Each structure stands twice: as structure tokens, then as C-alpha cells.
Structure 1
Amino acid sequence: MAFAAAICFVTGCSSDRSISADPDSFTADLTDAGPQGRTLGYLGDNAETAISEDKGHLVVNLPAARSGRPQAGIRTMFAAVGDFEVTVGFELRDVRMPSDGYGSGVGVQVTPRGGADRIVYLGRVRHPGEGDVWKAVHRTSRGGRREHDHRYVKTDARSGRLQLVREGGMIRCLAAGDDGEFHEVAAFAFGDDGIREISVIADTGGGTNRTKVAITELSVLADGLPYGLPPEEGVSTWTIWAVAFTAGAGLLAIGAIDRWRGARTIGRA
């Protein structure tokens, strides 16, 4: 797979959401994802064999398994702070209705700074009990025990878009099928903690059937998109780059002065 760095970070984007007037935006060239990706990394033990490229899209092909819960996908190497809008495009290429498990398909998940005990997930899955659905999940932890709030909405879409939108402390889960019109699946009180990772996951859901999906789009609009873990106070990617540029310029200046002084010393010897 080619790992061409054609990632686009843009500022000053307009939005009808409550995101700040000068947000950061990320639109992925999905072919940049890889084990050592700069902005997108692989997710899952078998990701390197399960993920391939097809006309600018990423295809995740999980073989049938008699045990375990095979998963594979991609994750961001940067964080998101403040209000945000995450959009993922998908196609179900070969996902058969499972007879057991919690649903086979593809979804997007945000994980906050505190860790995986708290997440919001939205996916298009084929569920053994619920059928063909949009599935939204809010996972929390109380007393060291994980609790899950599941929501299901019927759909027959084989392709479409998934969107997680945080406004204030609420995350809205929106889904659009073949007609392109977004509908709300669920809304969860989540808080304003920085998001350490955004992931797009293909999942057999514990079923024994093959699961093959395509990830066709990933974009993020947020108040801030810092690299690495989200800071306590939101620091924009641009602030980090500006600091790095200033520091680098300073080091170059110091080096030039040292060379000049060395030349003068040599000349006097």
C-alpha cells in the first residue's frame, strides 16, 4: 500500500455547528494509514493483513473465525478538543447476518483522555437480534464495572455516512444512508474531556461469518486538533507547529552565531 502523505489540515473553515469560528479541520487521504502512519495508524492485531487499498478507499476483510472477536481498522494519531464533528463514509461489501454475537459491521468511536472505560460508538451493523440497524453505544464505568447504553434504529443502507457531533457536553450520533440525509440515532451526555483517539473499526462482533467493509471517508472538524494526547487546556495543532517552528529557528540562529564566533576565533589564532 502506498503511504503518500496527502493529508490536508485547514483553518478558518465555516460550519453551521457550534464549533468555534476558527476551527481546525482534517480530511484524510486514507492511503496514508499504516503501521507507522503519521496521522493515521492501524488498529487491531491482524490489521496489516486485513487492510488493503482500493481506489483510494480502505478495505477491511476479516475472515470467518470460530472464536474470538476479530477487529481491524484505523485510528488517529492526533487528539480533538472542544466541540467537534467526525464524519466517516462506509460500504458494506460482504457482511452476512450473524447467528450470534453483538453485531457485524463497521463503526466510528471516540475515546476520551481518561481511557477506554468511556466511549461513544456509532456503527452500521447486522445484529443477530435487532437485524439491520444503526447502532449507537455509550459505555461508562461505575465502581470499576463497565455499563453500556445501546440504541438501535432500523436501516437497509448498504453504504452511507456516520457522524459524531459534540456540542457542549452532548454527543449526537447521526447516520445517513443512500439518500445522504442525516438522521439522529441517539444523543448522550459525555462531557467536554479532550478526545485522545478517533477510531474507525470493522468488527465481526463475535460472529463466525466473514466481514468485509470499505472505509471511504474520514474527516474531523474541531475547536482544536493537537498531536498526541489532548492537553489539559486545548492547544491547537497550529500552536504546536508555531512553537516548533520558533524553537527550530532559534536553534538555527544559535548555531549560526556559534559558527561565526568560531570563524573569528580561528582567524585570530
Structure 2
Amino acid sequence: SSSSSSSKHDERVKKKNKLDVERKKLPIYEARQGLLSMVGSHPSLVIVGETGSGKTTQLPQYLLEEQLIKDGMGIAVTQPRRVAAITVAERVAEEMGEQLGQKVGYKVRFDDKTSDKTSLTYLTDGMLLREACIDRDLNKYHIVILDEAHERTLHTDILFAILKSIQKRRKDNFKIIAMSATLQANKFSAYFGGAPVLYVKGRQYPVDIMYTLEPQQDYVDAVVTTVLQIHLEKPMPGDVLVFLTGQEEIETCLRLLREKIAKLPTSA
């Protein structure tokens, strides 16, 4: 009904206004003007920004807000993993006060949340590769952003070559931005004909690196033990963030945690 859709719209606007405050706290916000002028004046650009700088969610929005894309064309942002493509698109839709699948959407294998109105698409590098097989000049995109370029997946490396040849054919009508979290920027810059490199600082949290006393044969098991140790011996407010390589390890880790927690005394 129209009343429920208008209340959902009001909720989205309310959330957007709240998130606008958070967006301005991100490190990339200070570099906004410099970024926009660089994108406007160069066909290719390399951005180095640490995790937490806001580059993945913010830069595409800046480009839309400043109307730096040509009429009828959009922005594609590649991600090496489907989970990242989906979650980032959901977050950006919230920040823009938009319904997912309208102005901002995502495309991963077997799941397409885009429409004719979509001007910002987050997609896996494999999906963009597939699109390039159907439309060799990727005519619906004015700007392609290769995020997490430092991961150098097979798909991303092939995309580098394809995008470079598209740029030769489409000239000023096609821009490439490579975003990396590490300092391999010179390689990317040289590949794209000496593209300028822009550095964006990350969030500065105090970080202590602590190593295990000896190598661990089963690091998933070691993770479970460490998480329980932190929880039992040094309980603190907040959460424990664990990085694992994929779904199988995550599920194993969860199962082991549940099994071990079930055996703890209730006082723990």
C-alpha cells in the first residue's frame, strides 16, 4: 500500500540523515575534493587507502553526488568476493537513503539486484568479466573501480588487460580507478600509463601484534582456544573479530566454539 511504502521511505531518509554524520567522520572525507578533481582530470587513477578509510563505500557516492558520470551510464565497483559485493551494496543503499536494487544494486553469480534505474553496481570481478564477454566495450559504464586490486585474483588481472584495451577504444568516455590497501601502487600506476597515485590515510587504532610461541598445526582450533581464553580470562566490552579463509572454516570454527562453550560451567 502507498502508506506503508511512504513510511518505509521515511525510515530510509531518517537512517540516511543519521549515517551522513558517520560518513563525514571517515578518513576519506578529508580527501574528497582532491579525489574528485583527480578523477575529473585523469583517465586512470590509483588510490591507496588502508582498511577502514571508507574508499569502497564513499568514493562511488562522491562521484554520483558530483554528477561525474555521463548521462545514461553508470559506475561499476568490483569486489573479489560475493559477500563483500552484497554487503557493501546494502550499506551504500542505506547511506544514500535508497531501496536496494534501485539507484544502487549488486550483481553476483545467480543473484542480480539491479534495475534500469541502477547507476551504481557492486559486482564480483568474475561478473564484470562475464559482462565484458557480452559487451566488449562495457558501454553502460562510464567509470569502473577495481577494488582490492592488491589481491591480484585471476579475474582481476584479466580485467586489468580488458579495461586497458576498452579505454584505448573509448578514450575519454571511460575511466578506470584501481583501489589498493597496500603500497603496490607503482605497478598499477605504470600499467595504466603513469596514472597518478593518491594516498588516503586509514583509521588509526592502536594495534599490538602478538605471535604464538610456536607454530600451530591447526590454526582454526587455535583460534577457538584463543577466543575462549580472551572471553574467560580477559573479558572486555566489545567483540572479537576473527579472519578465516572461507565458509567451511567459519562453520567449523562456530561448531567447535558451540561444543566447547556447552561444556563450560554455568558460572563462566
Q: TM-score, normalised by structure 2?
A: 0.24
Higher share of residues assigned strand: 1
